[in-house]
Amino acid sequence: MKLPIMSTQRTKKGEQNLPVQFQEEYRPDLIARAVRAVQSHTRQSYGASAAAGLRHSHNVSKRRRNYRTSYGKGISRVARKIHTRRGTQMGWVGTFSPQTVGGRRAHPPKAATIRVQEINQKEKRKAIRSAIAATINKTVVIQRGHRLPLDYPFVIAAEFETVDKTKDVEKALVTLGFTAELARSSQVKVRAGKGKRRGRKYQGKKGLLVVVSKACPLQQAASNIPGVDVVAVNALNADILAPGTMPGRITLWTEQAIEELSTHKLFM
């Protein structure tokens, strides 16, 4: 399979043969598994203290003629914490026992719980290849909600990796026909729920992905454009290619990135 090579001025410079990674079958189920495995490694462990709900005194005698008994009070005989006392009259609340109001939790979250999801290496590589192939499948990319140029997909010339100014990157992307996509990915909405109070009030969209051959000035220059990510080809994973387990992210591959993919047989 061949794709046209476009310069930053949107002129055709030739054609690029695509390596075998772009011919992988479309497996959205496998891609979703690989994405969840990547995301699981970013989760922070959480859990209740082992002593939670057990750090105060409590006592109710089960003997009929003993002090602090609950016989004759019309209440259940469970462990209780005494707040006030006047003679044999107690002001107390249920405690310690998980079934009581005011008691500890029966099965709190444990910090030692293993929340990491594993995936076989062959399955992971196949998922990445499938996600790579989905980036040039125009139907899948449109279904994901992206706004495409009419001549998509195509390869961008190697000179694009040397652009070192944000305004030049934006100008090149507009020239290449990504105006509607940049407008779509720049939209920001207020998140629903408690996340607004936890430092993530605003929620943006994932837009254009630019795959380069190695660390280059373009990564810094494009870092301030909403929704646009620039990633080295050897650092790709399923979560970058299919954010939110949804394959078909709109992607620009540079000439050199495809050569790296072919020469080093990445993800094979």
Q: Which domains does the chain have, with CATH numbers?
A: 2-43+117-188+201-263 (3.40.1370.10), 44-114 (no CATH)
pLDDT of 72 > 90? The answer is no
Strands 251-254 and 209-212: parallel
Mean pLDDT value of segment 41-54: 91
For 16-22, the CB contacts below 8 A with 24+ separation are 16/155, 16/255, 16/258, 18/136, 18/258, 19/258, 19/261, 19/262, 20/268, 21/129, 21/132, 21/133, 21/261, 21/266, 21/267, 21/268, 22/132, 22/133, 22/136
190 CA to centre of own chain? 18
pLDDT of 88 > 90? The answer is no
Mean pLDDT value of segment 155-167: 95
Residue 89's identity, in one-letter code, is Q
- Average pLDDT score, the chain: 93
pLDDT at 66 (0 to 100):
80
pTM of the full structure: 0.85
Q: Which of 76, 211, 106, 97 is nearest to 156 (CA)?
A: 211
pLDDT at 126 (0 to 100):
97
CA 77 to CA 69: how far, in whole Å? 8
Mean pLDDT value of segment 240-246: 96
Tell whether omega for the bond before 153 is within 30 degrees of 0, i.e. cis: yes
Q: Which of 19, 3, 17, 8 is nearest to 129 (CA)?
A: 19
